């Protein structure tokens, strides 16, 4: 039976000739390649005893080719209420127009000679945090660069309670090992004292590392030294103190219920070097930022790995835009900060107005909560108002929302769909209403 089915498969040329209407739309070489792929897939299924779908080879090829015309990376409507949604690109970017054609990325217009790409963010960074800084492609890269330059082959003292795992299984100890630094653990999981650091310092110590636990909280019988204590010890023993802050809070958000350490506070407390993310509470694109002592930052910039980890021109433009908005306190132009700062009254008014537009849909406005997400501020939910929508089959309705145009990402709780307008841009509300009506109509 298998041999008979294999013999019945058409020849490549036969299928290609039947797809001649696609040759002005796709390169002939691509069409031929996809025909071969489709035929090979059918042969593999036949040999494996899998029943064929019944779709013709030509139809399968045309469907596969059509996928290449549609971008895989798409805009989605985030109605989850998770502001820094890791799977949805974390911080939504502030509006900026990508520079088409050429730019002065590494060209000094005043001198008419080669320049450095980090000048586009250097002054803004220094004004914001009170120390010079550079940027690489993410915070894991920032940690790697700092440890590789300042402690490769030597010891870095760190508390056992701060050996955290960040996103996608990346662990601080593994990054340290790859950098060439030697991990010197002190204290216990829940309690580390300043004396533990003091006793661990020896002639091979090059850094005292402090890691902010931005993606978890430890409570109960816990303790760790204040940053100022660690700085005083570092100055006493001539060992730099490096603090990884993770979330990168530059604007003071405590008024909105977000209690995260400010980068500028760590600098003022005397940390020799600080690293943090660009796409979390900073509200910008993916980046890792290192700021602190001018001599240390200059050393990091001269490290050969800095070039391997450097930012692309589009990221520099997005980061410059974000930093400028922060410096000029244009909070409304930084979407993540605007979302965090929404008042309950604003959210309730928007939710009531939106629910009234869902004709024929069983919807009501309920109290709930949003989260900042992105590994930032755990156990610090933001109070919110949500639209709860009932449907005969919420699982199917949620799937249909994901397949709408644009896709909509919502939450399912207690057999109902929840939509949080905190993370929905006002300009997206009509698209969202249309998608809900299409997915949840009786």
Is 51 buried (19+), middle (13-18) or exposed (0-12) by CB count in 10 A?
exposed
Task: Compute the mean pLDDT over every residue in the chain, rounded to the nearest whole number.
Answer: 92
What is the pLDDT at residue 215? 57
Is 238 buried (19+), middle (13-18) or exposed (0-12) by CB count in 10 A?
exposed
Q: Mean of the pLDDT values across residues 209-236?
A: 82
Identify which has the larger pLDDT, 213 or 232: 232
pLDDT category of residue 371 using cuts at 50, 70 and 90? very high
Residue 399 has pLDDT above 90, yes or no: yes
Domains of the chain: 2-67 (no CATH), 77-88+338-440 (3.90.1150.180), 107-330 (3.40.640.10)
The structure tokens listed for 97 are 């127009």
Work out the angle between the directed axes of helices 344-355 and 429-440 (0-180°, nearest 10): 50
Q: Mean of the pLDDT values across residues 328-332?
A: 93
> Poorest-confidence range of 134-138, 182-186, 422-426?
182-186
pLDDT category of residue 2 using cuts at 50, 70 and 90? confident
Q: Mean of the pLDDT values across residues 16-21?
A: 94
Non-local (6+) Cβ contacts of 430 within 8 A are none
What is the pLDDT at residue 219? 64
| CA-closest candidate to residue 440, choices 322, 358, 372, 321 | 358
Q: What is the pLDDT of residues 121-152, one digit of tens each?
A: 999 999 999 999 999 999 999 999 999 999 99
Distance (Å, rounded) from C-alpha 121 to C-alpha 133? Answer: 9
Residues in the chain: 442
Distance (Å, rounded) from C-alpha 305 to C-alpha 209? Answer: 20
Distance (Å, rounded) from C-alpha 7 to C-alpha 384? Answer: 63
Q: What is the pLDDT of residues 62-96, one digit of tens each?
A: 999 999 998 999 999 999 999 999 999 999 999 99
pLDDT category of residue 170 using cuts at 50, 70 and 90? low
What is the pLDDT at residue 218? 63
Where helices occur in 274-393 by DSSP H, the ranges are: 294-302, 304-308, 313-327, 335-341, 344-355
What is the pLDDT at residue 220? 61
Share of the chain above pLDDT 90, in %: 77
Identify which has the larger pLDDT, 197 or 4: 197
Q: What is the pLDDT of residues 248-291, one digit of tens each?
A: 899 988 888 888 899 999 999 999 999 999 999 999 999 999 99
Is 345 buried (19+), middle (13-18) or exposed (0-12) by CB count in 10 A?
exposed
Q: Mean of the pLDDT values across residues 210-223?
A: 70
What is the pLDDT at residue 167? 61
Q: What is the pLDDT of residues 337-368, one digit of tens each?
A: 999 999 999 999 999 999 999 988 999 999 99
């Amino acid at each position: 039976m298998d041999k008979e089915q294999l013999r019945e498969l058409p020849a490549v040329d036969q299928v290609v000739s039947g797809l001649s209407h696609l040759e002005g739309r796709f390169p002939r070489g691509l069409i031929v390649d996809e025909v071969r792929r489709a035929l090979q897939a059918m042969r593999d299924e036949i040999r494996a005893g899998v029943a064929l779908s019944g779709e013709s080879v030509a139809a399968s090829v045309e469907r596969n080719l059509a996928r290449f015309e549609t971008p895989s990376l798409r805009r989605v409507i985030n109605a989850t209420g998770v502001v820094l949604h890791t799977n949805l690109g974390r911080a939504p970017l502030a509006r900026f127009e990508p520079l088409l054609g050429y730019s002065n990325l590494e060209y000094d217009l005043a001198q008419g000679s080669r320049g450095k790409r980090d000048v586009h963010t250097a002054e803004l960074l220094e004004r914001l945090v009170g120390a010079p800084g550079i940027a690489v492609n993410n915070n894991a890269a920032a940690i790697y660069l700092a440890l590789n330059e300042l402690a490769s082959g030597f010891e870095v003292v760190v508390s056992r309670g701060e050996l955290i795992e960040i996103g996608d299984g990346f662990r601080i100890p593994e990054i340290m090992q790859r950098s060439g630094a030697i991990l010197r653990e002190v204290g216990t999981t829940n309690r580390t004292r300043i004396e533990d650091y003091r006793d661990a310092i020896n002639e091979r110590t090059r850094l005292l590392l402090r890691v902010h636990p931005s993606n978890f909280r430890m409570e109960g019988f816990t303790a760790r030294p204040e940053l100022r204590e660690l700085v005083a010890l570092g100055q006493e023993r001539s060992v730099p103190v490096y603090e990884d802050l993770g979330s990168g809070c530059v604007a003071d958000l405590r008024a909105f219920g977000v209690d995260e350490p400010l980068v500028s506070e760590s600098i003022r407390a005397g940390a020799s070097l600080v690293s943090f993310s660009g796409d979390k509470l900073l509200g910008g694109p993916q980046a890792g930022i290192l700021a602190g002592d001018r001599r240390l930052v200059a050393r990091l910039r001269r490290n050969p790995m800095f070039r391997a980890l450097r930012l692309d021109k589009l990221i520099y433009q997005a980061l410059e835009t974000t930093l400028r908005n922060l410096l000029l306190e244009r909070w409304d132009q930084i979407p993540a900060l605007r979302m965090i700062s929404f008042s309950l009254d604003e959210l309730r008014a928007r939710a009531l107005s939106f629910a009234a537009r869902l004709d024929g849909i069983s919807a009501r406005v309920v109290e709930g909560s949003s989260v900042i997400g992105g590994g930032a501020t755990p156990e610090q939910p933001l109070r919110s108002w949500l639209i709860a929508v009932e449907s005969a089959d919420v699982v199917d309705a949620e799937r249909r929302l994901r397949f709408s145009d644009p896709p909509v990402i919502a939450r399912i709780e207690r057999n109902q769909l929840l939509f949080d307008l905190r993370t929905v841009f006002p300009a997206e509300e009509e698209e969202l209403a249309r998608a809900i009506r299409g997915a949840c109509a009786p």
